[in-house]
Structure 1
Amino acid sequence: MTLYALTGTPISTPSAYNLLTLAAVRTDRTSDLDFAFDIGPDSSFGVGTAGATVAVLLPRGAIGLGEDGGLQISSLPLDSIVLAPERGYEERVGVVIDSGAVIIAASRKQNCNFGFVRPRYAKLRVEALDLVQRSVTLRLVVDPNCGYRGLGPGVPQQ
């Protein structure tokens, strides 16, 4: 799945992802999204090194939407992540990405069966980052079951 930067790309290109509908979305058409992608200079996102150009995934709270859901960098290989953590998600500040980076995402909360209010979880890896085209290609694995944190193969148990 490919996203294009929020800035410096045509508005007709998708810059964000909705973990609930499993779709890349345009930010001019909807605020139903869980994270967005952008590239900026001089640590304009509050991360990185001054003077550097950084590519970031931005949780909802970092783009002026509700602080609901979030992102966290993982040091584990994508295939080793079988259970999403319950805590530790960045809700207000973007996470710096580069090719090969692995991120765990929690969607905005939703009403699940039996009155539970929980997010969906996903793991993703940056397959390609193109600073010239201002795009990122991600490999995503999303658990479509509300509140389940399982990200391994098979039916989730947790």
Structure 2
Amino acid sequence: MSFTPNARRLGAPRIARRALSFCAALLFAGGSAACSDENPFLSPATRENVVRTFSVWTLTGSNPSLPAAMLFTNLTPERPQVLSNGSVNFEVAFDLTGDGKVRVIPARALVPQSPAGAPIVGLLRSNSAFSALTRAPERGYTDDSTMVVGVNELVLVRLASAGCIYGEPYYAKVAVDSIIASERRIVLRTLVNRNCGYRALTEGLPTT
């Protein structure tokens, strides 16, 4: 089906008006969820952002029954593995370098030829403090490449394979709170915005 230039000019404003009308209707009805203040085409946010702390153990040199990775989309620590259906059960794995820093390893860097494919994970280093960074950048991420960070350093994560209907990513921030070298354990502080396409990295129900 083809569109004339006039149809194209008329179509976009009409769609925008419908999206804005939908948001207005939600607000008029007194609903607690609202459309994104920045992008009226995003679905209303339904999941609150919460700061959580997790312990993971190193990929090498630790008990193989202990979690050494994170599945951020489910907020669960996991031991990396390829599942029976060919997919993987994690998005980012962790290990220690020889000088005691944390190696952050996206799934595709660890399992480049997973039979069912591994999720696309973008990483971006930030010089901000965990609490000071309130919004994830939209660009600048490096997909599926390992990164090394130290204690109190912050990494932004873009999860492009979050399962959103229109392919919007989830965004997250992760800081290394501490490293217990004797236990091969890494303590992570995280906040994951599990609302499709929303980039706010503050606690509570996001609006953007």
1:3 to 56, 64, 69: 56
Structure 1, unaligned runs of 5 or more = 42-51
Q: Encode CA deviations 1:79-110: one digit per residue, 9 max, x unaligned.
A: 11111111222323221121111111122423
- 1:59 maps to which of 84, 106, 116: 106
Partner residue in 1 for 2:49: none
**Distance in 2 of aligned mates of 1:111 and 1:29:** 19
User: Which among 28, 33, 36 is matched to residue 93 of structure 2?
Assistant: 36
Distance, in Å, in 1 between the alignment partners of 2:162 and 2:154 is 24
What corresponds to 1:27 in structure 2? 80
Question: Mean alpha-carbon deviation: is it higher for 64-73 or for 123-132?
Answer: 64-73
1:15 to 68, 87, 104: 68
Counterpart-to-counterpart distance in 2, 1:53 and 1:153: 31
User: CA–CA distance in 2 between the matches of 1:138 and 1:54?
Assistant: 13
Alignment-derived partner of residue 68 in structure 1: 120
- Structure 2 CA distance, aligned partners of 1:7 and 1:25? 14
What is the TM-score with the length of structure 2 in the denominator? 0.64
Choose between structure 1 and 2: higher helix proportion.
2
Indicate the residue corresponding to 1:144 in structure 2.
194
**1:155 to partner: Cα distance:** 2.5
Over aligned residue pairs, what C-alpha RMSD do you find?
1.9
C-alpha change, 1:126 and 1:103, in structure 2 (3 Å) is: same
Q: How many residues align?
A: 146
Q: CA deviation at 1:15?
A: 0.6
How far did residue 129 of structure 1 move?
1.1
Residue 79 of structure 1: SS of its match in structure 2? coil
| Distance (whole Å) between structure 2 residues aligned to residue 136 and residue 110 of structure 1 | 24
| Structure 2: unaligned runs, 5 residues or longer | 1-53, 113-117
SS in 2 for 1:110: coil
Give the structure with the higher percent strand. 1
After the TM superposition, list the runs of 4 or more consecutive aligned residues in structure 1 that deviate by more than 3 angstroms.
Answer: none
The alignment-based identity, stated in percent, is 28
Structure of greater Rg: 2
Relative to structure 1, is the Cα distance of residues 28 and 10 closer, same or farther in structure 2, using a 3 angstrom cutoff? Answer: farther
